[in-house]
Structure 1
Amino acid sequence: MARPSVRVPFTPLEIALDLAAASSFFLIATAFFRLWPAVPEQVPVHFDVRGVADAFGPRSTLLALPVLWGVFYVLLTFLRFVPHWHNYPVAVTASNAPRLYRLSILLVAWVKVLVLWLMATLFWQVCRAAVTASGQLGAPHPGWFVAGVGVVLAGYILALRRK
């Protein structure tokens, strides 16, 4: 059975989250223009759980992060407009579709903020680690972003359970 196609208007929170996600691009641009000229030919490309570099590669590998940032931005922005494609743990009906779609759109918006800021922060940190030859990621540790996704998912599940 086809799910109802319901137009879900933008909310101020959603607009704020989208602006927060898009603003992460400025961190990437700043890192690129300020740090990239000083990045050596060999850069850290993998870090252990403590944030210490344990593998190195060519500096061009760092360019994958801004490219992936763009791909994720476009994909997650597109997903906002097709909530009837999203996966739901309950049956979607004409009566509950607006609520479920709104919750799902907000979930995507929060995940978008977290994922794009994670990518921007990693690009900045890896460039900085390469330039300073420290071989270590600084704060915030990527684990905080993973914890953030966990909190967002828990909030989504709790909101779904409320009537």
Structure 2
Amino acid sequence: MIWFFRVSVLAYVVALVVAAFAYPEQVPVHFDATGAGDRFQPRGVAVLSMAGAGLGLAVLLALFIRVFARGSLKHLNIPHKSWWTQPENSDRLRRMLANDLAWIGGCTMTLMTCMLAITIKVADDAKPSMGTFGWVTLFGFLIAVTGQVVFMYTSRYRPENP
């Protein structure tokens, strides 16, 4: 899943470059509960804000993935911790943790890319709105991440021979 995270970050960078050229002078940067744009910023401020938020999050997630792959397992809260922290199982645990975080990070970056694409699409509209695609994207993200967390907790970390 590391590849998914990397591709999602690359997609975000591409969308950010497109936004820098495609945005009008005023850009919707926040949508209310109905999906309508309710806060606007100048193009430069919007692009810099989205670059800082998206790329900052990508760097933070990449650092956490690296820490999971190499860091201490002492403070983890996982099912069957005593089995997983045995020397013969710890390398597999580290790979699994890094891949799980990469999946969640990839989903998060994909959500951010979709929201950026929606903003590019509706920025010129008289009444910009997130539309159906925005809501489907948001709920798809929530379902994917919730499903992964449930899978991780209920079966992914179940040892083969406890």
**TM range, normalised to the smaller chain?**
0.7 to 0.9
Paired with 1:62 and 1:129, the residues of 2 have a C-alpha distance of 15
Paired with 2:6 and 2:47, the residues of 1 have a C-alpha distance of 25
Shift of 1:56: 1.8
Q: 1:107 is aligned with what amino acid? A: D
> Aligned with 1:58: secondary structure?
strand
Shift of 1:64: 1.5
Specify which structure has the higher proportion of helix: 2
Per-residue displacement from partner, 1:138-158 (whole Å, max 9, x unpaired)?
Answer: 414322212221122122222
Q: Which residue does 1:20 correspond to in 2?
A: 7
Change in 2 beyond 3 A, CA 1:31/1:45 = closer
> Aligned with 1:45: secondary structure?
strand
Q: Which residue does 1:56 correspond to in 2?
A: 39
Change in 2 beyond 3 A, CA 1:131/1:98 = same
> Which of the numbers 73, 86, 94 marks the counterpart of 1:93?
86
Question: How many equivalent pairs are there?
Answer: 145
Paired with 2:125 and 2:72, the residues of 1 have a C-alpha distance of 45
TM (norm. structure 1) is 0.74
Change in 2 beyond 3 A, CA 1:110/1:80 = same
Per-residue displacement from partner, 1:83-138 (whole Å, max 9, x unpaired)?
Answer: 13573322423233122211110111111211112112212212332212332114
Q: 2:98 is aligned with what amino acid? A: I
Determine if the alignment matches structure 1 residue 147 to structure 2 residue 147. Answer: no
Change in 2 beyond 3 A, CA 1:85/1:133 = farther
Paired with 1:56 and 1:112, the residues of 2 have a C-alpha distance of 27
Is the 8 Å Cα contact of residues 46 and 56 (structure 1) preserved in structure 2? yes
> Which of the numbers 145, 155, 161 marks the counterpart of 2:158?
161
Q: 1:22 is aligned with what amino acid? A: V
TM (norm. structure 2) is 0.74
Determine if the alignment matches structure 1 residue 126 to structure 2 residue 111. Answer: no
Is the 8 Å Cα contact of residues 65 and 120 (structure 1) preserved in structure 2? no
Unpaired segments of 5 or more residues in structure 2? none
Q: 1:52 is aligned with what amino acid? A: A
